[in-house]
Amino acid sequence: MSLKALLDTLPIPILQAPMLGVSDHRLALAVSEAGGMGAFAGAGLAGADLGPAIAALKAQTERPFNVNLLITRPVAPGQDEIDLALARLAPWYAQSGAPLPEIPNQYAPDFEGQFSALIQAAPPVASFAFDVLTAAQVAALQAAGTYVIGTATTVAEAKAWAEVGADGVCAQGYEAGGHRGHFLADVGASLVGLLPLVATIRAVIDLPVIAAGGIMDGRGVAAVLALGASAAQMGTAFLLSDQATTSSPWRQALAAAPDEATRLTRAFTGRHARGLENRFMREMRSDEDLVPAYPVQNRLTQPLRAASTAAGDPEQISLWAGQGARLAATGDAGARVLRWWEEAKAASSQLSARLG
């Protein structure tokens, strides 16, 4: 078996994007059980909690699923950097009513610990973003029975994943919601629309490509398959689904979003990400290049975002969403997957008819 064979024989080649904070077991199971492939975003869990979480998923389904981790290194920011970052956030915290956060011992779960737990738990598929694994890490996962997918925003990043032996590449288009996965060039050099991104990656590497970014329905699924992708990955399209844990103010903002409402911002987390533009994004715009790099700023704004979410205030929450946000659909996630597949079939029939 290969990842390519797995994707080619999935009843429905729709992968749910691993959305940290949104996709828990319920969403992953709904998508996998419908015939697609669900994803569990494991990046927020320490290694000790990740293993049992994966085991629980394995116990609940025979279908393949994906566990996503974000590759980070331990950081030890200086006191000055933190003081400055907190001073910048102080007015926002004051407005939210939440106290400024204490300086944590750790800004993100230890990746090495997560990675060990992942190998132990051996999910069917694991995907990674923000950096590239070593060849030894990839080989260790594969030896455990896990296919490895690396996120690439450029051709060079796809090549880097191919060189360490990854089983497949997730091509993250400019359109995609949430964090950008770039790790070789700066963000400005890593914003390629999904169509040319898939085409240029496919031209130089011989691995299955999973297309992500702006795919909102079955027509979009058919489009990226026609383009040569082995599967479509959809995230924003699931944000309003019953099984997503999208917060209430986030759902409301999404349902009310005008056209072209998303922008890239570095202000929330110290790493560029796409979301519905709100007051925090607008007013932090001029300072966004100055905030500490991920995961420090991410950790420092978490209590602010939690308090604002609890208060129902969308203006200080990271409202991650892709450029197709307006087309996000409500209802049961599994039923949606089945419907998108029917739409894809209809699109394919129309295409066949046009091509004669």
Q: Where are the beta strands (DSSP E) in the chain?
A: 14-16, 38-41, 65-70, 125-129, 147-152, 168-172, 178-179, 209-212, 231-234, 262-265, 273-276
Pick from 1, 188, 286, 289 the residue near a second copy by CB under 8 A: 188
Which one among 228, 251, 303, 329 touches a second copy, defined by CB under 8 A?
228
Measured at the CA of 241, the angle between CA 329 and CA 33, to 5 degrees, comes to 115
Minimum CB distance to a second copy smaller for 73 or for 282: 282
CB of 343 to a second copy, least distance (A): 10
Give dist(CA 245, CA 249) in Å, integer: 12
Told to check if 293 binds a second copy by CB under 8 A, we report no
In terms of C-beta density within 10 A (0-12 exposed, 13-18 middle, 19 or more buried), how is residue 199 classed?
Answer: middle
Query: With respect to a second copy, which residue has the nearer C-beta, 124 or 214?
Result: 214
Tell me the C-alpha distance between 12 and 332, whole Å. Answer: 16
- The answer to whether 211 touches 171, Cβ cutoff 8 Å, is yes
- Report if residue 324 touches a second copy, rule: CB under 8 A: yes
Is residue 125 helix, strand or coil?
strand
Window 137-176: residues binding a second copy (CB under 8 A) = 154-156, 173-175
Sequence-distant (≥ 6) Cβ neighbours of residue 265 within 8 angstroms:
272, 273, 274, 275, 277, 281, 284, 285, 288
From CA 137, how far away is CA 132, in angstroms rounded? 10
Binding test (CB under 8 A) with a second copy, winner from 122, 327, 329, 335: 327
* Contact call for residue 323 and a second copy (CB under 8 A): yes
Out of 3, 85, 207, 215, point to the residue binding a second copy (CB under 8 A). 215
Indicate the helix (H) or strand (E) that contains 281: helix 279-284
Closer CB to a second copy, 109 or 214, in the complex: 214
Q: Is position 223 an interface residue for a second copy (rule: CB under 8 A)? A: yes
Q: Is 100 in the site for a second copy (CB under 8 A)?
A: no
Q: Could you tell me which stretch among 47-55, 103-111, 133-141, 218-226 binds a second copy (CB under 8 A)?
A: 218-226
Q: Least distance (Å) from a second copy to the CB of residue 235?
A: 13
Nearer to a second copy, 146 or 157 (CB): 157
Instruction: State yes or no: residue 194 binds a second copy (CB under 8 A).
Output: yes
- Residues forming a β-bridge with 15: 37, 233
Query: Which of 5, 94, 136, 189 touches a second copy by CB under 8 A?
Result: 189
Question: Least Å distance between CB 233 and a second copy?
Answer: 13
Closest distance to a second copy from the beta carbon of 225 (Å): 5
Residue appearing with tokens 């040569």: 228
* The amino acid at 161: W
Cβ neighbours of residue 59 under 8 Å, at least 6 residues apart?
A: none
For a second copy, the binding residues (CB under 8 A) are 8, 13, 154-156, 173-175, 185, 188-190, 192-197, 199-200, 203, 213-217, 219-220, 222-228, 259-260, 263, 322-324, 326-327, 341, 344-345, 347-352, 354-356
